[in-house]
Amino acid sequence: MKLFRKLVKSELHTRIFIGLIAGIPAGFFLGGMVDYLEPVGDIFLRLIRMIVVPLVFSSLFVGTASLGDIRKLGRIGIKTMGYYLCTTAIAITIGLILGNIFTPGNSIDQATRDKLFSAHQAEAAQKIDIASNKPDILDTLVKIVPGNPVESLAEANMLQIIFFALLLGIAVTMVPEEKGKPLIRFFEALSDTMIRTVHIVMKMAPLGVFALIAVVVGRFGTDILVSLLKYTLVVLLGLGVHVMLTYSTAIRLFAGYSPLKFLRGIRPAQLIAFSTSSSSATLPVTIECCEENLGVSEKISSFVLPLGATINMDGTALYQGVAAIFIAQVYGIPLTITNQLTIVLMATLASIGAAGVPGIGIITLAMVLETIGVPLEGIALILGVDRLIDMCRTTVNITGDSSCALIIGASENELREELPAKD
Ligand code: ASP
Ligand 1: does its nearest atom lie under 6 Å from the Cβ of 127?
no
Please indicate, yes or no, if residue 418 is contained in any of the structural domains: no
Per-residue model confidence (pLDDT) at position 423: 40
| Rounded distance from Cα 172 to ligand 1 centre (Å) | 34
Per-residue model confidence (pLDDT) at position 218: 87
CA–chain centroid gap for 362, Å, is 14
Please indicate, yes or no, if residue 421 is contained in any of the structural domains: no
Q: Which of 406, 414, 412 is nearest to 75 (CA)?
A: 412
Per-residue pLDDT of the chain (423 residues; tens, 9 = 90+): 676 676 666 788 889 999 999 998 988 888 778 888 999 999 999 999 999 999 999 989 998 898 767 788 889 999 999 999 999 999 999 999 999 999 998 888 888 888 888 878 888 888 888 877 776 777 878 889 999 999 999 998 888 999 999 999 999 999 998 999 999 999 999 999 999 999 999 999 999 999 999 998 888 777 777 779 999 999 999 999 999 999 999 999 999 999 999 999 999 999 999 999 999 999 999 999 999 999 999 889 989 999 899 889 999 999 999 999 999 999 999 899 999 899 888 888 877 767 788 989 999 898 889 889 899 989 999 998 999 999 999 999 999 999 999 999 999 998 886 554 444
Ligand 1: does its nearest atom lie under 6 Å from the Cβ of 399?
no
Please indicate, yes or no, if residue 130 is contained in any of the structural domains: yes
Cα separations in angstroms, 340 against 84, 103, 230: 20, 14, 21
The DSSP 8-state label assigned to residue 345 in this structure reads H
d(CA 305, CA 141): 19
DSSP output for 263-298: HHHTHHHHHHHHHH--HHHHHHHHHHHHHHTS-B-H
**Any residues with CB less than 8 A from the CB of 186 and at least 6 apart, and which?**
none
| Rounded distance from Cα 4 to ligand 1 centre (Å) | 35
d(CA 48, CA 272): 10
Q: Give the number of the atom of ligand 1 that is nearest the alpha carbon of residue 277.
A: 1
CATH of the domain at 339: 1.10.3860.10
Please indicate, yes or no, if residue 60 is contained in any of the structural domains: yes
Q: What are phi and psi of 390, to 5 degrees?
A: -60, -40
Cα separations in angstroms, 59 against 15, 18, 66: 28, 31, 10
Nearest CA to ligand 1 atom 3: 356
Please indicate, yes or no, if residue 419 is contained in any of the structural domains: no
**How many structural domains compose the chain?**
1
Q: Where in the sequence is the domain holding 233, given as residue range(s)?
A: 2-411
Please indicate, yes or no, if residue 316 is contained in any of the structural domains: yes
Contact yes or no for 274/391 (Cβ under 8 A): yes
Per-residue model confidence (pLDDT) at position 421: 40
Q: Which long-range contacts (CB under 8 A, 24 or more apart) does 221-226 make?
A: 221/119, 221/384, 224/116, 224/119, 224/384, 224/385, 225/384, 225/385, 225/388
Mutate to test the pocket of ligand 1, among 393, 396, 402 (most ligand atoms within 8 A of CB): 393
Please indicate, yes or no, if residue 190 is contained in any of the structural domains: yes
